[in-house]
Structure 1
Amino acid sequence: MITIVLADDEKLIRAGLKKILTDSLDIPIEIIEAKNGEEALELCRDRNPEILITDIRMPVMDGVELMKNISVMEEKQKPAIIVLSGYDDFSYAKAAIQSGALSYILKPVDKKELITAVNSAIMDSLKEEKEKNEQKFRQIIEKGRLDDVSGLPEITIKNGLRCIVIYGKNPIQALETVMQGRTYYVVEQTKSYVLIVYPFDGNEVSYDPSYLDTYIVGISGPADDYSMLRTMRRQARTAAMQSFFNAETGEIYEKQRKGGLYYWENDQHINDFTTLDETYEKMISHCDLASPDETQKDVENLFDCFKNNAKLNSETLCYLYRKITSNMFSRYPGYTDSDMYLHIKSIMIENIFEYANLPEWQSSVLDYAVYLAALLKQDTKESPYITEALAFIKTHFKKNINMAMVANQVSVNYTWFSEKFKEHTGVNFNEYLKRLRIEEAKKLLEKGCYKVYEVAERCGFSDVKYFMKIFREETGMSPTEWSNKHIS
């Protein structure tokens, strides 16, 4: 529903304009009349109309004064302004422009000109409203909650909401063709994929077969609660991951993966990735101590997870992908932030749907890990005590340790050790220890079975308030928010 405030001191003119608008616009509108600027201003404050159509010459408060008052209102309350005037006077036009008027129309009003201006204002309003709601959806996904629910009930349709993710070249352009006028909201967008949420109207979106030869489409299950958006995003992504596996057997495609349409199937699912977490942690924590051959074996062991339950491989891949892209690239910032090869490789790994099949993606993960291990190994040859120190830290980081203790453990001068440690890891000792503990905290929180103070104790934080402060600084969310985000 679009609300329009119509301000003119002549009743017959208001009636004529109202009839033009009612007869010519094909969307639901509500027209509220005001006989002067003061009434119009109160209506704008109370009703938050999308459009204000106002005459310039009115008693009590004229159109110029009305526009000045509206110009200082909060941005979200300002209507689009269309000015009507019987005076072809540049000063009025100038005042209208300075106040942000969308159009300036001379009386007698040309019907076509008025409808064109109103339609333009309506399109701008709908676009703005859509962008606001998209931002709200992103907030739900990012924070797991919505602080401002205003506007969202208008989106709800009795059949609930769906998420769709589309992977391929120019996905947003393809999306517009597919949705064919349906209402949808873009939640995430890159050059290679787009994720949307749309009110489900009871009819499935239809896709041209030739479209599905080029694009991979993952569709979530339905939900009628906005708090489920994060879960729906995961469902859509997991559905799209099915393209890497045989639909009948769940086995990995060794050649070209399949494009097409994939639905989230609401049946049996994996609730516990503890074994995968342990295998991953062994691989990534061993990276700075392992030889290239050992690193290769660690990566192979990690990807053996797809042999355990072929029917649920898409869920496993979705979880592993998130693990690698959110953890592996940030584990050794001294290298990953500065080495161009690692930077380019990380971008390639993030774009998993650019790969023909899963073995090719695994090969890139292996290349990244082996190259990183080689860099780390090269540095530790020059400073072998660093290897010993890192092994000691990883074994004892849950305890109350400090750099002096570690330097003493490896029999190296404190100052010299501090300098070499930062050269090797890219961060100082305290920062490295903090990140190690935070990574452990993330893993424990994702299990969903520990209280916050228990996680703090198990990760080496003696003060739970300090732990919560540091965790928010590092992740942008509280431990509880992190747990809720990754359990869903």
Structure 2
Amino acid sequence: MKLLIADDEKTIRAGLIKILTEHYPGTLEIIEAKNGEEAWTHICEQKPEILITDIRMPKMDGMELMRHVAALEEKPAMVVLSGYEEFSYARESIRLGVVNYILKPVDKQELFQILDSLIADIQEKERTNKQNLIASALKGSMLQKDTLQELIRNGAYRIAQCIKPSDKQIANLITKNHAFIIEEKTNSLSLLVPEAERTALFSELQAQFHIIGVSDIIRNPADLQSCRTHAEIVSFVRFFSAEKRLVLYEDLFEPQDQAAENRSLESLAVLVGTGDKTGIQRMLSSLFSFESESFYQNMMGLYQISSQIPSLLMTFHQYIETDPYLSMKSFLLRDMDRYTAIAELQKDISDLVLYLDILLQQRYSEYPFIEQALVFVAKHFTEPISMATVANHCSVNYTYFSEKFKQVVGVNFNDHVKQLRLEEAKRLLLQGCYKVYEVASRSGFGDVKYFMKAFKEATGLSPGEYQKRCNTQ
């Protein structure tokens, strides 16, 4: 941390440097300036975090220096050290953002107390900024690679997914071990943990969490998202073992050719609305059958299911959004960290799907082609499909199809497709790796101008504004 001393008296500068170097060994990089003009040059070039300045100096006095500093977007914390106690100086200093006004001769303990507070505040701000940067990167925003690379270069890190936290306050424990909170939910906590502090931190955290899943070591910023996924996957060991409380990804990982078989919720969605309750229950039993002796295969199978839940909910979003029971079930299913038993997750998916089946069966009984159309659209909405294409697919007259689609679904065909594309566009924007025209193409809009107009009408924000707002929340 850089501290700049601006004073025209050499003996005062030397005295301050001596006492500060002795009191803060290895903490402060001290820069000195003999006048305000020289101090301003140092501020612009070296960007110190703290400025200690006298009032009366040649070339540019302290008040003028502080006026320059006050206009900066990123400015050092300012402390005035002066032999003048005139009220006008103090009042103007406060107006310019000075945090403390100390009279000469300097009381060392008073100065140390002020600097201790400033250093703690600056370190906490730096920590919060890094934490927000990491959280934004995991949300999918564009990585600020230099900052993340610097963080990783200073030491190896892992991501830990901590499930079911206790009510105890753990913020001080995390800060003490130089870890970062990258996401905090009701039922989980995601941490970026320095490898050097891992053993000490986890030995204390194990008593406060149901399970801690730990990724492999992050080698570069591009690994951040995959390591987050690895931590989430191994945290699923809670569903298969009551004994394992702390699990490392490398301890359970198996080569890809031994990975779990494909488990698709798409086949389950196709049955919804058919009235085939037995078939739905049979499909659910098959999806949630985990008989492998391999923890890794079972965890990968469950991860496949969990990662498809948003798509399942998207397929039936128009019913979920308008039905209180379905909305409640949807809310629960969007938070995998709340579950500690497979039976709980299976029950919530089963409840949602069977309720939807009854609801849709009532609506589709007279017009079965509507279900066929919805399934087709859910698979192909990112492609250039039209209502004529879907009506032909269902072998139904175009005009009749249009009329009954709106009657049963509640919105017309084009609005339904547009809503699906808008939701997909939001998902892609939050990944942060696509340009607006690429999002338009990948979500099915094609025409970027139409996409931007439709997006602004639906959200009140441009795609870029939406991305920025979501990634700063």
Instruction: Tell me, in whole angstroms, the C-alpha distance in 1 between the residues paired with 2:378 and 2:280.
Output: 17
Superposition pairs of residues 117-128 of structure 1, within 5 angstroms: 117-128=114-125
Query: Which residue of 1 is the match for residue 332 of structure 2?
Result: 348
Find out whether 1:264 has 2:249 as its counterpart: yes
- Aligned residue among 140, 146, 149 for 1:149: 146
Percent of pairs with identical residues: 29
Name the SS of the counterpart of 1:84 in structure 2: strand
Pair 1:153–1:264, CA change in 2 (3 A):
same
Compute the TM-score of the two structures, normalised by the length of structure 2. Answer: 0.80
Query: Is contact 1:407–1:417 with CA below 8 Å preserved after alignment?
Result: no
Residue 91 of structure 2 aligns with which residue? 94
TM-score w.r.t. the length of structure 1 is: 0.78
Residue 231 of structure 1 aligns with an amino acid whose one-letter code is: S
Q: Tell me which residue corresponds to 2:186.
A: 191
Structure 2 partner of 1:35:
34
Q: 1:81 to 1:127 in 2, by over 3 A?
A: same
Q: Is the 8 A contact 2:159 2:228 kept in 1?
A: yes
The residue number in structure 2 matching 1:302 is 287
Q: Deviations over 1:428-484 (max 9, x none)?
A: 243267479x69x99xxxxxxxxxx9xx8xx996969899999x999x99xxxxxxx
| Change in CA separation of 1:13 and 1:208 when aligned onto 2, cut-off 3 Å | same
> How far off is 1:387 after superposition?
3.0
Q: Is the 1:85–1:107 Cα contact (8 Å) retained in structure 2?
A: yes
Q: Are 1:165 and 2:144 an aligned pair?
A: no
Secondary structure (helix, strand or coil) at the match of 1:222 reads coil
Q: Is the 8 A contact 1:53 1:82 kept in 2?
A: yes
The Cα shift of 1:318 comes to 2.6
2:320 to 315, 336, 342: 336
State the partner residue of 1:321: 306
Between the aligned partners of 1:460 and 1:173, the Cα distance in structure 2 is 43
- Quote the residue 1:5 is aligned against: 4
Deviations 1:216-254 (A, max 9, x none): 1111222332221112212222221112113xxxxxxxx
Q: Secondary structure at the match of 1:321?
A: helix
Distance change (3 Å), C-alpha of 1:365 and 1:8 = same
Compared with structure 1, are the counterparts of its residues 148 and 400 closer, same or farther at alpha carbon in structure 2 (3 Å cutoff)? Answer: closer
Call closer, same or farther: CA 1:98–1:398 in 2, change over 3 Å: closer
Counterpart mapping for 1:317-466 below 5 A: 317-324=302-309, 326-381=310-365, 383-390=367-374, 393=377, 401-404=385-388, 406-407=390-391, 409-411=395-397, 412-413=399-400, 416-417=403-404, 419-420=406-407, 422-423=409-410, 428-431=415-418, 434=421
Alpha-carbon contact 1:403-1:429 (below 8 Å) kept: no
- 1:20 is matched with which residue? 19
Shift in Å at residue 383 of structure 1?
4.9
* DSSP-derived class of the 1:201 partner: helix
CA 1:195–1:87: 2 relative to 1, 3 Å: same
Asked if the contact 1:217–1:261 (Cα under 8 Å) also holds between the matched residues in 2, the reply is yes
Match of 1:204, SS state, is helix
The verdict on how the C-alpha distance between 1:365 and 1:388 changes in structure 2, with shifts beyond 3 A counting, is closer
Count of aligned pairs: 444
- What value does the CA root-mean-square deviation take over the aligned residues? 4.0
- Stretches of structure 2 that go unaligned for 5 or more consecutive residues are 429-437, 464-473
Residue aligned with 2:308, SS: helix
Question: Which residue of the partner structure matches residue 242 of structure 1?
Answer: 237
Shift of 1:53: 0.9
In structure 2, the residue matched to 1:253 is: none
Given that 1:334 and 1:425 are in contact with CA atoms closer than 8 Å, whether structure 2 keeps it comes out as no
Structure 1 residue 149, shift from structure 2 partner:
0.9
Distance (whole Å) between structure 2 residues aligned to residue 391 and residue 194 of structure 1 = 36
What residue identity is the alignment partner of 1:87? Y
Q: Which residue of 2 aligns with 1:47?
A: 46
Following TM superposition, by how much is the alpha carbon of 1:196 offset from its aligned partner in structure 2, in angstroms? Answer: 1.3
Aligned to 1:447: none
CA contact 1:140–1:227 (8 Å) conserved in 2: no
Partner-residue secondary structure (3-state), 2:16: helix
Describe the SS at the equivalent of 1:105: strand
Relative distance call for 1:398 and 1:31 in structure 2 (3 A) is closer
